[in-house]
Structure 1
């Protein structure tokens, strides 16, 4: 577990608060639409608590059909919550993955005691919720196919799950507008493919911070760069992000080489992004 420490400067806190729902706006009309979903999706609300004030109500997006399905564990950004990412998360679920994300106790947008520094405790929350999900959704989730994803502070939480709080159950990760913790730990444990998604115009988690973290990864990795993207690349280019990340999941979970082969074309479909990778 990461030890609690000062997480960010005041300036950085103000920036990461851009994850707030007040900052998230619908994509402009010129943005490419997210592709049609391939299957129906249902949702469930589960109540977990790690003890004390660490309640972790978790929303789950479930694909139609019979499992077991791979699990994508998702971490939201500061002053945000899982529903703010519903378009992307339901798209993943429609492709045949269970997607689950909690409201972290002190960093979601209605947290009674909001504390941005609490991000350092979220990797332990994540490990707890994954364990609880395996029990609550036994038979629905394949325990051998689990991955983690996150946006902004949620991506920083995800980095923690592959470094100082390494969870060996995780087989892959997607980091949207993410970087290392201020006192970073090296990526460790069994190699796991990681896909970074980054807007080059992001002023909250800068391109240099994200690419610096990418350079620290020695495992198979990819960097989806959106030159005109902001801190919300999944809103700026929803089709690109949805299709590229979904084919990434198909590859890592299903050993689908055809999906891996589609990723460069997914990224360049609107001439608004490009993928660099060592996959």
Structure 2
């Protein structure tokens, strides 16, 4: 069986397994919801990637694993060596923010892996292009000693995700790869950043800008980034979220991180997780061609999941 037929079969299985765990929105909205746990447990492993950051770049991988889901908000099993036998799974490359680390996004990336995705997050030391990272991941997965990645990496389009300064890499990849390589990047998700280090870059692939209303970056970078997008784009602003609401820092901090970084004192940080988790999974699945498309990013459904007001501009659609 050819590799493309194998990939098609794998994606069908991915879609069916995920669909089996979906619930419909309330309030008359029938779009799938992804704020709850997906059908897979999750493993996490530290890996090295040849040719990244001038040598063997370090990265963390979250991946669908064998077994059962123990709890809805489980963190990844550190150094788990098991995997789902019927991979491969779609690849998502994640770029963290300045002075951050991949592990500080464990909760959000674990949730994405619960829904049947492989996420690889390089430790950014210098300029690492997400497409180069994806190629290095696939090279690593083809090796005999690939460990948990062996047989797990789909060879089709990827989705790039970035937070804060990490949106620089995601925005560039969504513009350059889509234009030069015929759409290798299926979509870009920019969290709390508008690709501010990629001035003049207009994403061609479908792009979701997801921001916190308490974050000054929203007005400074995200609105201009959204307005300059060359392809389908949507800007969603969660009023009660801050710059670091996409990380694990707000819920685990022992010091005050500042009013622009987290939720206000009268709202628990966990209250913004449903709309963030749902939006991240819904966008990634839609960009990769799920049957429900971008319907799950309907502003009405997102508002149901948000702890306060939410605004949305633009409409996403598949690339032509």
Mark yes or no: TM-score above 0.5: yes
Q: 2:295 aligns with which of 261, 268, 276?
A: 261
Partner of 2:13: none
Partner of 1:226: 238
Is the alpha carbon distance of 1:179 and 1:54 closer, same or farther for their aligned partners in structure 2, counting shifts above 3 Å? Answer: farther
Contact 1:149 1:155 in 2 (8 A): yes
Q: Distance in 2 between matches of 1:213 and 1:52?
A: 27
Residues 218-275 of structure 1 deviation map (CA, whole Å, 9 limit, x = unaligned): 2111111111221123255111111112111222213322x52222244212353343
* Offset of residue 183 of structure 1: 6.3
2:280 aligned with 1:276:
no
2:142 aligned with 1:122:
no
Is the alpha carbon distance of 1:52 and 1:177 closer, same or farther for their aligned partners in structure 2, counting shifts above 3 Å? Answer: closer
User: Does 1 or 2 have the higher relative contact order (CA < 8 Å, sep 6+)?
Assistant: 1
Contact 1:199 1:207 in 2 (8 A): no
Q: Which structure 1 residue ranges, 4+ long, deviate > 6 Å from structure 2?
A: none
Unpaired runs of 5+ in structure 2?
Answer: 1-34, 66-83, 143-150, 248-268
* Offset of residue 51 of structure 1: 6.8
- Two-structure CA RMSD over aligned residues (Å): 2.4
2:127 aligned with 1:93:
no
Partner of 2:284: 249
Unpaired runs of 5+ in structure 1?
Answer: 1-33, 106-117
Give the 5 Å matches for 1:68-147. 68-105=88-125, 118=126, 121-123=127-129, 126-138=130-142, 139-147=151-159
Residues 145-177 of structure 1 deviation map (CA, whole Å, 9 limit, x = unaligned): 311001001112211222467674211010001
Partner of 1:240: 275
Give the 5 Å matches for 1:143-158. 143-158=155-170
> Between Structure 1 and Structure 2, whose CA radius of gyration is higher?
2
The alignment of Structure 1 onto Structure 2 pairs a total of residues equal to 226
Q: TM-score, normalised by structure 2?
A: 0.64
Partner of 2:186: 171
